[in-house]
Structure formats: C-alpha cells, structure tokens
Amino acid sequence: MNHNLRSVGHSPDRRASIAPRLISLLRDKEIARGIARGLVAGGIILAALLWWPSFAPVRHQDTARPTGDIIRKADFNGHHSSDDVRRIADWIASTNDASGHSFVLIDKREAQLYVFDADARLSASTPVLLGGARGDDSVPGIGNRQISAVLPDERTTPAGRFVGERGHNARGEDVIWVDYDAAVSMHRVLTSNPEERRLERLATPTSDDNRISYGCINVPVDFYEAHIQPTFAGAPAIIYVLPEVRSVSEVFRMHASAS
C-alpha cells in the first residue's frame, strides 16, 4: 500500500525535494519569462475555448416546418365541388380560421351547401335555395323592413364569414341566424307559396332555378334536421358564404399564398 502512494507523488518527502528545484528554476530569468509567456498563452487559449459557444452559430433541430409552410387540406371524402369551394375549405383547414369549430360552406354560384366537422372533414352536402337577386352585400337597413317592402333586386344572400347561432324568426320557427341585423337566416325550405315551386327547384339537377328567396338560405327539411341542427346544437359554428360578384380572396382577405 505504501509503495503505491509514493508512486503517484503523494509522499511528503517527494514534495519537499521538488520545492527547492522549482525555486531554483524560477530564479533563472529566461526560464521565468518562458513560463510567464506560456501561462499567458494558455490563458488566452482557455478563454477562447470558454467563450467560443457564444459566437458560434446555434443549430436547432429541424423538428417541424414553419407554420406558414404547413399546408393542411380539407377532406372532401371524394365528393365533387367547385374550385372555389376547395380553395376556401383548404384555407380554413390550413389557417384554422374556424378556430376549431365545425363550419358550413355555401357556394352561391352552384347553390350548394357543405357541412364540415371541426377537423375540416366533409360531413354532408345538399342543394339549397338562395336570394333571388345576384350580389354579395345586403342592402343597408333591410333587416328593419317589412318583407313586402323588399324589392326584387334587393333580395341578396350576403357573402362573407358569419358566426351562425340558433334562434327563432318572426314566425316562431327555429332557424340558424347568419346575419341577424340583415334578417338573413338558414332554415327549412318554405312551401307556403305553391307558385314558387321551391321543392321542385331543389330537385332539379342544375342551379339555374335555385334563386327564389328574399335572401335566406332554404335547406331541405330532412337535411336541416339531420345535419344543420346537430352542427349548431352544442356551440356556434362558422358559416362561409362564397361570393358571386367579388373574388374569394377579397371577401375573406386570404393571404397571397392561398390565392
């Protein structure tokens, strides 16, 4: 055991013998200068090594693409739709514009309604009836007029993004309000005036005859009860009405990358 301790320099006698030699060496000026220069150079190198990480570029792991580059698309489940519908649905999915809510898309040009769940997956679609007049804006103050005072060219279904909420109209019927101030709602198809042939209009294969309402969105009864009511039952959902005069980008202020 004693032999091992001495071999690694822990003997008091060995330290005592080394000390006089060091003193002798340090008295030699040239040797002392060399030692000093070595200490200075060593200090500089040590400082550089310690500070180098602060100047070196930091490399991050590429664990995710930047948010702006992530393109998420809506799931149409193989269903056919217009280019504008797919474009706005993909934009909603990619930007989370609906804030995690279910949403409804209404294509005025094709008179089609699409229901999507909160994950941007298409649940169902149906033909609808829309305002008889072409246009993307409601006439100011139209919601305060009597329906008989609304002129034919004022019967527009407004385009835009709306927070749809459950409510009741003047007849006491449950509806989904699209724009309460403009008295525009989404409701079951009205059949009170047989001359308008609203059910027949819904059944035709084209959208040419689907413009008949005062601005409200008329939905087939079965579809309304099976899909519209449940979508808005728990919380408000977002309604996107696509334009027919202005561009989609203009109405929804979509980013240039999505246009």
pLDDT in tens, 173-222: 999 999 999 999 999 999 999 999 999 999 999 999 999 999 999 999 99
Q: What is the pLDDT of residue 128?
A: 98
C-alpha distances out from residue 159 to 111, 187, 207, 209, 259, Å: 13, 17, 17, 19, 17
Using 50, 70 and 90 to split pLDDT, how confident is the model at 63?
A: very low
Please state, in angstroms and as integers, the Cα–Cα distance from residue 163 to each residue in 169, 250, 252, following that order.
Answer: 17, 19, 14
Architecture of the domain made up of 67-258: Beta Barrel (2.40)
* 2-26 tens-digit pLDDT: 333 333 333 334 344 444 455 455 4
Sequence-separated (6 or more) residues with CB below 8 Å from residue 71:
90, 94
Is the pLDDT at 46 greater than 80? The verdict is no
Listed by start position, the domains of the chain span 2-55, 67-258
What's the CA angle centered on 111, arms 182 and 223, to 5 degrees? Answer: 85
